[in-house]
Amino acid sequence: MSNQHTRSLIQAYGTRIYSDRKLNIDLHESPIFSHELELRSGCPISVQYLQEYIPLGISHGRELAIHTDRPFSKSQQHQPWCFEVKDVVSFYWISGERSIYYELGTSGNDSLLTFWFLHIFLPLYFTIEDKYDFLHAGAVEVDDKPILFIAPSMGGKSTMTDCFIKQGHTLISDDKVATYYDDDKFFSVPSHPYHRPYRQYEDLGYHISNYSRDAKPIHAFYSLDSASKDAEIIISEIIGYKKFEILLPAYLYSFPFLKPMRLKYLSKMLDFIALYRVHVPWDIKRLDEVHDAICQHSISKL
């Protein structure tokens, strides 16, 4: 049975989102939010005019693409957009407006709409609309201070984030961390209280009750480097240009129009925030040791 025409309120990425469809998720409302959006069914855009087609490859076994009406670059006021998950759902919006429209495809349903909207579409939307800069990282709080884990794909970010959650730490984001700069600080923004440690396709993940409600200044980055299972756990600070080389691949999107802004943003971020390398023994039985070492190190740098 469709839940359409049931207005509901959720919050994700520091944004209050009013939906005409009651999404089957538990998203805590925060007293502090930066944006408001509406999610509505329908399509206010004549798709035939969106002749600029940008394939985004395959994700979760689905073909993705962006459509717009001009060469792909930084969004302009009143520019029409469509993000398509082939056969599942398409999201439409007009740049500068606060309504997002969706149309389910032949394979679409409520669960898939929720997954693609929350995990994939919103970070893309906020990037194109120049609201946040996203890092591909896990983020938790240590002593109320956000720390971010970065690593190559399959490099242990989700496993480390999961370990910290199980040790009682507050979750900020398990994969895509929204950031912004304000008052000489770089803030991390809570995404949503769902965690996907094993990255199953189109799976929302499990709900986390200990979830951050407010944006906070980022305390430190920890770059996870795998080592032999019997290796010593070593944490060392990265300095100079090497910091930039390590963090740049963690930038979530690689659209060409973002490059000049991205280089400036990351350079400034690394002037403010320390980056540390952690030699992590490739042995899940030693994760508690790694957790303790990172916590002691982070607290020592307060």
> Is residue 47's pLDDT more than 90?
no
- Residues in Cβ contact with 134 at an 8 Å cutoff, skipping those fewer than 6 apart: 123, 126, 127, 176, 177, 178, 179, 251, 252, 253
- Which stretches of the chain are DSSP H helices? 110-115, 122-128, 157-166, 241-247, 259-272, 287-300
Q: Read off the DSSP letter of residue 182.
A: E
Radius of gyration of the chain (CA): 20
The reported pLDDT for the residue numbered 118 is 93
Question: Domain-by-domain residue ranges, the chain?
Answer: 4-131, 135-300
Rounded CA-CA distance 284/162 in Å is 12
Query: What is the average pLDDT across 53-60?
Result: 92
Asked if 81 and 72 touch (Cβ cutoff 8 Å), the reply is no
Q: Report residue 15 as tokens.
A: 């944004």
Could you tell me the pTM of the whole model? 0.92
Confidence band, pLDDT 50/70/90 cuts, at residue 28: low
Q: What percentage of the chain exceeds 90 in pLDDT?
A: 70
Amino acid at 88: V
Confidence of residue 247 (pLDDT cuts 50, 70, 90): very high
**CATH number at 135-300:** 3.90.228.20
What's the pLDDT score for residue 1?
A: 36
Expressed in angstroms, the distance from the first to the final Cα of the chain is 52
Amino acid at 46: S
